[in-house]
Structure 1
């Protein structure tokens, strides 16, 4: 089924029993602010991403969710990271009990109710597993609802970086170029994100997985 107001199919099947509902208007506002900062018009950004200006407008105003492919393309064209979309004020954690041991630096603990979440148009949810921004990696708990996929209409995506994932439940098909891999609980995979890829739930239950994306901005390739 296609949403008459967008270029992408509408996914009928909300992610269930998961904390931290995303405020799409906040994410859209960040995208709009960055687009204006870069001097791009709706039409210019839409042409670069390969969608209509109306879809970009609806994403910016929170009236439409982006697919994984579309969101990746938008943040890439605007010079943003996924962390930039997640980044908003987080309630302070409960104070820790007194300890005679000194606090270790560089440690971040994130409980399930503190995760920042993005719900995507194609039946996919991302939950950030870090309390704050990490410029080097995206560390995510991902959910693919039944019928959910990383992109609509069978399209593949490619971008900078390398991805690592391990499946906790469900069955996920990972298509990489002309090859396809069907993963179940306990299976893991890693691949270069520059390889055209698409992920989709091929089972009858939601897929839960831990996903780790490294170097999405291509710093490894910089001179």
Structure 2
């Protein structure tokens, strides 16, 4: 599973994700008929400094174990990711006993369900309306211990992708 996780995360952090996706350009006068078909797909004329992406146009990665990463917005900044993460019941970020460590910081907010969070020697449960932030160089993993799916919003920065990740057993 660790290899599958690494491949999925490689796709998540690949450079193509950081490049702006061509979108209809916003104009001062909004065409109401076009607004219905593209209500939130907005890219400005200034090197894609603004990103507003409708649900049907988001990049989604799903692992065999049922974990999903959906990129909510993207800019040209390569060291930042803003995602919704879903863990189905019983799924975990890494194979049993393994922890990951990498550059960067992670911030998470739970929308629904519960996920067990292990960061170093600390074990806690992230549940609805709770949040956490941590230095990703501390060994960590996540596991859905509940009977319902976990949905959370994740923001990562200074994460340079899995090529510099280390798995610790």
Q: Return the match for 1:202 from 128, 135, 145.
A: 145
TM-score by length of 2: 0.73
Runs of 4 or more above 3 Å deviation = 85-97
Contact kept, 8 Å, 1:86 with 1:117, in 2: the verdict is no
Residue 46 of structure 1 is matched in structure 2 by none
Residue 183 of structure 1 is matched in structure 2 by 126
Contact kept, 8 Å, 1:108 with 1:131, in 2: the verdict is yes
Deviation of residue 117 (structure 1)? 0.9
Residue 109 of structure 1 is matched in structure 2 by 52
Deviation of residue 131 (structure 1)? 4.3
Residues 1:144 and 2:84 aligned together: no
Cα deviations by residue, 1:143-182 (Å, 9 ceiling, x for unpaired): 1111111111231000000000000000011101111010
Q: Return the match for 1:214 from 150, 157, 161.
A: 157
Larger relative helix fraction: 1
Contact kept, 8 Å, 1:123 with 1:147, in 2: the verdict is no
**Structure 2 CA distance, aligned partners of 1:134 and 1:187?**
27
Q: How many residues align?
A: 146
The runs of 5 or more residues in structure 2 that have no matched partner are 31-43, 162-169
Residue 84 of structure 1 is matched in structure 2 by 15
The runs of 5 or more residues in structure 1 that have no matched partner are 1-7, 9-49, 52-65, 219-223
Change (3 A) 1:96 1:83: farther
TM-score by length of 1: 0.57
Q: How does 1:45-194 map to 2 (within 5 A)?
A: 66-67=4-5, 70-71=6-7, 75=10, 82-84=13-15, 86=17, 90=21, 92-93=23-24, 98=29, 106-194=49-137
Change (3 A) 1:147 1:195: same
Q: Please give the secondary structure, in 2, of the residue aligned with 1:153.
A: coil
Change (3 A) 1:81 1:116: closer
**Structure 2 CA distance, aligned partners of 1:86 and 1:182?**
30
